[in-house]
Amino acid sequence: MERLITKFMKLKLLASICLFLLAQLSLNAQEKGEKTSFTFKDTRIINGQSVETNQDGQLKFIISHRFGSINGGIDGFFGLDQATIRLGLDYGVWDWLTIGIGRSSFEKTVDGFLKARVLHQRENNGAPLSITILSSIATQTADFPEQERENYFSSRLFYTNQLMLSRKFSDRFSLQLMPTLVHRNLVETADVENDVVSIGAATRFQLTKTISFQTEYYYTLPNQLAEEYYNSLSLGFDIETKGHVFQLNVSNSQGMIEKFFIGETRGQWSEGDIYFGFNISRDFQLKGRKYK
Amino acid sequence: MKILSVLLLTLFLSSCYYDNEDELYPGNIPCDTAQVTYSIQVEPIISASCASASCHVLGGTGSGNFQNYSGVKSKVDNGSFMNRVIVQQNMPPNGDLSACEIEQLKVWLSNGAPNN
């Protein structure tokens, strides 16, 4: 119990300090220069989120698919026979605040998040970078595998808090760093950490006017996860069409929310455990515009 | 307003537990892996989790027919059973095998997946 309270207090203190500093930074940032746009093409990079938020009143419907591993061979049509899906709806309450919900077929997981952009990079010696905070909660809705014991709802909850720091260096290149804390209320053994600290890095290279290349890597600090879990590395292309962004990617992680790809990536690139997948998003403007 | 929302974000932090199964369920019945047989442990797991819901059955959406031993064994022999169920644990796709069931399947595979 003492351990629980101490860890909890530390976590709260750390989070409060970070949020206070960010709020101060946001208030003091010089409001000059044009806001940079399209640091990333979409609100998702590959599996993880980007610093971008929805516009005021914008509803984004995101369909994400991840197929089985390609090393299954022709028997499983290189993974295309097995698919997991996440359906998501993100809504821009204001330009700087997005709320979203989603449901993944894997472990029948429902997730919800709040995403606040506290600082926007500006040109002409304005703010040098963009900062966005993500806070999400996820819960499994599949039946408990051990039905005979007393199970608690809290055991199925997972939390993620992430700080995204990004800079668009030029029209061709953007970089994002994302220190992340994933909390699992229940883990299997005392040797495994409930809190998992990971540091993500992502890049975007604009190849042509409509196509860009993304990389996304999450380095999880050692001695937090069981041995069978690995760091997540993903590569992808964004293809922008009118009203859509079509994202094609390969990854050693099959999950599409932080709980999965940070805490439960079982695949290894060196073993050919590579999953092909795609995200398609469609935008609808619900405020300030009437559809005919 | 921004500060208000940032404070709201901290609400998500406020219901953390630090549980692990070893301590939360100290009286857990230990998983019986001493004598795992196809007929007693493995077949019921496969029937409930693989050869159901029109997946790994004749004419089902899954590859192979797991309603009989030979169908299962062919996937054991080509390594895909081990890879998907034990290593990657992405099959069954909804991840509903318990840790004990996975452990029993692992023992059965390491014994050569006999039809006993």
CB contact (8 A) between residue B21 and residue A186: yes
Find which of A75, A160, A259 to mutate to test the B interface (most B CBs within 10 Å of its CB). A75
Contact status, residue A79 vs residue A158, Cβ threshold 8 Å:
no
Neighbours of A270 (CB within 10 A): 8
Which one of A5, A80, A114 would you mutate to disrupt binding with B, by most B Cβ within 10 Å of its Cβ? A114
Name which CATH class applies to A2-142+153-285: mainly beta
pLDDT per residue rounded down to tens, chain B (116 residues): 555 555 555 555 556 888 888 888 877 667 788 888 898 889 988 888 888 767 888 888 888 888 889 888 888 888 888 888 887 777 887 767 888 888 889 889 888 888 98
Q: What is the pLDDT of residue A74?
A: 77
Tens digits of residue pLDDT in A154-199: 889 999 999 999 999 999 999 999 999 999 999 888 888 999 999 9
Alpha helix locations (H) across B12-81? 21-24, 43-49, 69-77, 80-81
Which region among A74-78, A173-177, A204-208 has the lowest average model confidence (pLDDT)?
A74-78
Q: How confident is the model at residue A234, as a pLDDT?
A: 97
Please give the interface size between A and B, counted as residue pairs whose CB atoms are below 8 Å apart: 139
Q: Flag if A145 and B97 touch (Cβ within 8 Å).
A: yes
Question: Domain coordinates of chain A in residue numbers?
Answer: 2-142+153-285
Q: Note the helical H segments in chain B.
A: 2-11, 21-24, 43-49, 69-77, 80-81, 99-110
- The model's pTM: 0.80
| Residue A132 pLDDT > 90 | yes
pLDDT at A135: 93
Of the partner residues A15, A188, A273, the one whose CB lies closest to the CB of residue B99: A188
DSSP A154: G
Verify whether the Cβ–Cβ distance A97 to B93 is below 8 Å: no
The predicted complex's ipTM stands at 0.77
Q: Judge: B7–A19 Cβ closer than 8 Å, yes or no.
A: yes
Residue A3, pLDDT above cutoff 50: no
Min Cα–Cα distance to chain B from A5, Å = 9
Chain B residues in contact with A69 (beta carbon < 8 A): 83, 88, 90
Closest-CA distance, A206 to chain B, in angstroms, reads 32
B83, B53, B93: which is closest to A107 by C-alpha? B93
A28 pLDDT tier (thresholds 50, 70, 90): low
CB contact under 8 A, A186 and B20: yes
User: Taking CB atoms and an 8 Å cutoff, what residues of chain B touch A228?
Assistant: 87
Residues of B within 8 A of A139 (CB-CB) are none
Identify the three-state secondary structure at position B64.
Answer: coil
